[in-house]
């Protein structure tokens, strides 16, 4: 049975650990706030880049860009897995690696190459049979656009050189402090651009046009609930959504054909596509590090709570032992006094 001295030492050790976990929780909370601010500040640039690319795609006569090339049969696949460099973040990395393993099994008929960000993913997959094309360590200490561009440059080179037919990214998407979701997203070829012969919904087109008008994008959340149907080009939306767009922006709609492109739309689109890939990688890294901080904050809060419970249990045990020792001493004194009579 543990002695009082042993229990006191354990209580002291647990209290020291609790101080560390509380400090780590506060640090993770501060880092999470800063990272969230960076995500929010980067969204307008990402959204506007995508909107401009859609406008260029509407006018591009030639879409023969390497980053838009789609292979008929994906024989070679590159998967970017973003994990953490440190531990103490609960099941954060476990969920990523488990989801990545499931995705890799679905591509087992293709030649799969891994690109890894983070020590945890690299430490895990270097012991597996999968091919590691490239890996980056300690990029997530302070996520910068330059680091994301470095990763994107490697992926673009693999894709444009023909060494891979498709690129996917697996990361933890930040939903809330207590909820993060592992997602698998296609990165290359770039998909989702609306070219002239592709149909888009009137609601989507109206929102896109209104984004070019001051303040209209946010005001359209409820205004376009009634829009429906399919259209061929953006100019067709005015027959159905002109009044709604004018009411949301409180100004005359500006037709996209008023823009003059220098140089031609194909050249501008070609220059924006690599930057779009860089932005997507940067966003994924920011989402991942935010999820890591949130997971660490939750894990440290749980650890601190468990430390409190353990201290209470040890203190209760220690008090019981002290009570038993005192009772034993009293009985010995009483017994000795009775023996002297």
- Concatenate the DSSP letters of all residues of 73-92 into one string: S--EEEEEEE--SS--STTH
Residue where the block lists tokens 């609960």: 90
**Could you tell me the strand order of the sheet in which 166-176 lies?**
131-136, 111-117, 76-82, 166-176, 179-188
One domain, residues 321 and 175 = no
The answer to the question of residue 256 being in a domain is no
The answer to the question of residue 259 being in a domain is no
pLDDT level of residue 50 (50, 70, 90 thresholds): confident
One domain, residues 12 and 49 = no
What is the rounded average pLDDT of the residues 266-279? 85
One domain, residues 238 and 304 = no
The answer to the question of residue 252 being in a domain is no
One domain, residues 224 and 86 = yes
Structural domain boundaries, residue 15: 4-27+300-334
Q: Output the 3-class SS for 155-221.
A: HHHHHHCCCCCEEEEEEEEEEECCEEEEEEEEEECCCCCCCCCCCEEHHHHHHHHHCCCCCHHHHHH
The answer to the question of residue 260 being in a domain is no
One domain, residues 66 and 210 = yes
The answer to the question of residue 213 being in a domain is yes
Q: What is the CATH number of the domain that holds 199?
A: 3.40.1380.10
pLDDT level of residue 38 (50, 70, 90 thresholds): confident
pLDDT at 193: 66
Q: What are the beta bridge partners of residue 131?
A: 113
One domain, residues 306 and 272 = no
By mean pLDDT, which of 201-205, 228-232, 260-264 is the weakest?
A: 228-232
One domain, residues 316 and 200 = no
What would the two tokens of residue 210 be?
């209104």
Residues 314, 11 contacting (CB under 8 angstroms) = yes
pLDDT at 125: 93
Question: Which uninterrupted H or E stretch holds 237?
Answer: none
∠112-113-114 over CA atoms, to 5°? 125
pLDDT at 224: 37
Mean pLDDT of the chain: 79
The answer to the question of residue 150 being in a domain is yes
One domain, residues 212 and 185 = yes
What is the rounded average pLDDT of the residues 178-201? 73
pLDDT at 215: 42
The answer to the question of residue 330 being in a domain is yes
| Cβ neighbours of 260 (radius 10 Å) | 5
Pairing relationship of beta strands 179-188 and 166-176 according to DSSP bridges: antiparallel
Residues 164, 77 contacting (CB under 8 angstroms) = yes
pLDDT in tens, 220-261: 344 334 433 433 333 443 344 444 444 434 434 434 445 677
Dist CA 48 CA 38 (whole Å): 16
∠69-72-78 over CA atoms, to 5°? 65
What is the rounded average pLDDT of the residues 184-189? 89
Q: How many separate domains does the chain show?
A: 2
pLDDT at 1: 57
267 has pLDDT over 90: no
pLDDT at 330: 85
Q: What is the CATH number of the domain that holds 329?
A: 1.10.287.80
pLDDT in tens, 148-186: 999 999 999 999 988 999 999 999 988 888 888 999 998
Comparing 152 with 61, the larger pLDDT belongs to 152
One domain, residues 10 and 101 = no
One domain, residues 227 and 311 = no
What is the rounded average pLDDT of the residues 317-332? 85
What would the two tokens of residue 251 be?
């100004």
One domain, residues 68 and 126 = yes
Comparing 157 with 341, the larger pLDDT belongs to 157
pLDDT level of residue 218 (50, 70, 90 thresholds): very low
The answer to the question of residue 100 being in a domain is yes
pLDDT at 60: 67
Residues 102, 190 contacting (CB under 8 angstroms) = no
Dist CA 166 CA 248 (whole Å): 40
One domain, residues 155 and 35 = yes
pLDDT at 141: 85
211 has pLDDT over 80: no
């Amino acid at each position: 049975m543990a002695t009082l001295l042993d229990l006191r030492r354990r209580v002291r050790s647990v209290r020291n650990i609790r101080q560390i976990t509380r400090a780590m929780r506060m640090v993770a909370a501060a880092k999470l706030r800063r990272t969230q601010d960076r995500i929010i500040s980067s969204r307008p640039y990402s959204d506007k880049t995508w909107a401009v690319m859609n406008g260029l795609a509407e006018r591009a006569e030639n879409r023969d860009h390497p980053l838009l090339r789609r292979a008929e049969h994906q024989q070679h696949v590159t998967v970017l897995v973003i994990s953490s460099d440190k531990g103490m973040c609960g099941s954060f990395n476990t969920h990523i690696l488990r989801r990545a393993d499931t995705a890799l099994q679905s591509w087992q008929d293709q030649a799969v190459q891994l690109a890894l960000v983070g020590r945890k993913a690299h430490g895990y997959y270097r012991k597996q049979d999968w091919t590691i094309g490239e890996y980056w360590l300690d990029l997530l200490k302070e996520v910068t656009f330059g680091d994301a561009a470095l990763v994107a440059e490697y992926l673009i080179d693999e894709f444009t050189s023909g060494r891979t037919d498709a690129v996917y990214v697996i990361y933890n998407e930040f939903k809330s402090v207590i909820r993060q979701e592992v997602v698998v997203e296609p990165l290359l070829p770039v998909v989702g651009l609306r070219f002239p012969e592709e149909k888009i919904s009137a609601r989507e087109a109206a929102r896109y046009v209104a984004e070019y008008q001051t303040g209209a994008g946010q005001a359209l959340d409820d205004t376009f609930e009634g829009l429906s149907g399919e259209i061929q080009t953006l100019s067709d939306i005015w027959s159905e959504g002109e009044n709604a767009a004018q009411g949301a922006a409180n100004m005359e709609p500006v037709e996209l054909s008023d823009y003059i492109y220098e140089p031609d739309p194909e050249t501008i689109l070609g220059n924006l596509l690599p930057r779009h890939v860089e932005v997507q990688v940067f966003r994924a890294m920011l989402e991942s590090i935010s999820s890591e901080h949130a997971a660490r904050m939750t894990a440290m809060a749980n650890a601190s709570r468990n430390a409190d419970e353990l201290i209470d249990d040890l203190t209760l045990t220690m008090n019981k032992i002290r009570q038993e020792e005192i009772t034993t001493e009293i009985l010995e004194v009483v017994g000795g006094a009775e023996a002297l009579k």
